[in-house]
Amino acid sequence: MGRTPAIMLQGTGSHAGKSVLAAGLCRLLFRHGLRALPFKSQNMSNNAHVTAAGEEMGWAQAMQAEAAGVASRVEMNPVLLKPEAEDRSQVIRLGRVLTTVRAREYRTLAPALWPAIAESYARLAAEADVMVLEGAGSPAEPNLARHDLANMRVARLAGASVIIVGDIDRGGVFASLAGTILLLSERDRRLVSGFIINKFRGDASLLTPALEDLRRRTRRRVLGVVRYLPDLALPEEDSVALETPTSHRRPAARARIAVVRLPHIANFTDLAPLESEGDVELRYLDEPSRVDAGDLLVLPGSKDTIADLRFLKARGFAAAIRAHAAAGGAVLGVCGGYQMLGAMVEDPDGIEGGGSESGLALLRVRTRLRRAKVTRRVRARWLPHGPDFDGYEIRAGETVLEPGARPLVEAARGVAGCAGDTGRVWGLSVHGLFDSPASRRHVLRWSRGGDVGGRGIGARELRDAAYDRLADALEASVGMDVLRALLRR
């Protein structure tokens, strides 16, 4: 029996659009009656998903599985790296914490990680008509090639047709595509079938001379020019996307949401459904001076809670948050943000670097980080009479309510959130609170003191619409005939 046909999207660098194009490709193949399964051997992201089995994997592959019409499985992303500091990451293997290592030490783990990658791929490929693979970063990094677990080594394992994706919106796309080919070894160069130019605005016919020049120089052709698709409302894979944040300014907005951009921000996928609300303005804050009295101020999740708590104090955010709450402004903390709003965060075992730090003291809770990591899907309910919603927990800490605290959220195993004394500060450990229209409106009504309207569309419906837009764009620019030819290679 031959290999399962496979297409692999690699990029000229991070944030070229590989993840969303892979989701679009999964949806396009699904629409043509093919069982496509996604696979990314190694992902680096603090935006994580929890499977039905309580296993942790990268959000991007869960999104791609959803686009393909299949349930997410940890084999789709067997290795997940979750950065905790500039040179340290937690390593998740097959959904569970393996260890925490510094960047220089990671390459020594390759012998322990590659078998999980190869076995996961084999299990998926045996069930698929087509495999859709995604690389990581760029394959043309000479300093990383010897220890590659994510790009060309995986392409060789799968016998995949490789497409290099470049982002024309960032500039320099032709140099990036040609340079990528130039830096690849001859063996790896032979795996590259062509290019996709992503995020193009304007008349694609104007690119014709440049496309021909690129073909002449690289002996590879551009398989498609995918137009820029605004307002997809798909969660980003990692915080690179926040370095040049898109504008969601809406002058007529009835609800303004400001999110503190923490250095170790995690699972900001929670906020993606808000981007589709026509009466909601969403923005990320780098400076405390940008806090507005009318904002709902959000402290999101964090992969290093104590370090980010110290950041809040050093940059003046802590004082701005307290002042906002004292003036009657709404403050919401999710997971790590919830922990920061409490009295104390302690890390005696060095789970995230060690030490302890006093919190913002806006909620009557205390947190102690523990070695046993909680990863589970939950059915939660806003107290006392709010709506139910489906969500998930990914946390290392145990947050306990102090005497006099007001429970806010109830989950299967007890209280999972707390309200402050004035009722204008909320915190909870459950992610996914904005996915449900009822839960989303519940939070927005609380923050504004009344109804704010809204479309009332579920996050899954919004993502499905985005997958269909991506599939349409790929069918128009690349086409099924080209894809079928690649799959026959």
Sign of the four-CA dihedral 302, 306, 309, 315: negative
- What CATH homologous superfamily does 6-232+464-487 map to? P-loop containing nucleotide triphosphate hydrolases (3.40.50.300)
Asked if the domains at 6-232+464-487 and 255-452 fall in one CATH topology, the answer is yes
pLDDT the model gives residue 246 = 47
Give the DSSP H or E segment for 9.
strand 6-11
> For the chain, what are the domain ranges?
6-232+464-487, 255-452
pLDDT the model gives residue 466 = 94
pLDDT the model gives residue 77 = 98
pLDDT the model gives residue 281 = 87
CA–CA separation, 95 and 49 (whole Å): 10
Q: Are 195 and 177 in contact (CB under 8 A)?
A: yes
For the domain spanning 255-452, the CATH number is 3.40.50.880
The residues, any chain, with a CB within 8 Å of residue 476's CB and separated by 6 or more, are none
Q: Where are the alpha helices (DSSP H) in 364-479?
A: 437-448, 459-477
CA–CA separation, 137 and 43 (whole Å): 9
pLDDT the model gives residue 146 = 80
> How many CA atoms within 13 Å lie on the side-chain side of 106?
23
Residues of the chain with pLDDT under 70: 1, 237-253, 450-456
Q: Are 266 and 336 in contact (CB under 8 A)?
A: yes
pLDDT the model gives residue 15 = 87
Residue in 26, 49, 335, 418 annotated catalytic: 335
The predicted model scores a pTM of: 0.89
Q: Is 26 a catalytic residue?
A: no
Only one residue has tokens 């499985």, namely 73
The span from the first CA to the last CA of the chain, in angstroms, equals 16
Token duo for residue 168: 């024309």
The residues, any chain, with a CB within 8 Å of residue 368's CB and separated by 6 or more, are 345, 346, 347, 348, 397, 398, 400
Give the pLDDT confidence of 84-135 residue by residue, as tens digits. Answer: 877 789 999 999 999 988 888 888 898 999 999 999 999 999 999 999 999 9
- When computed from its CA atoms, the radius of gyration of the chain, rounded to whole angstroms, is 23
Q: Is 264 a catalytic residue?
A: no
CA–CA separation, 292 and 289 (whole Å): 8
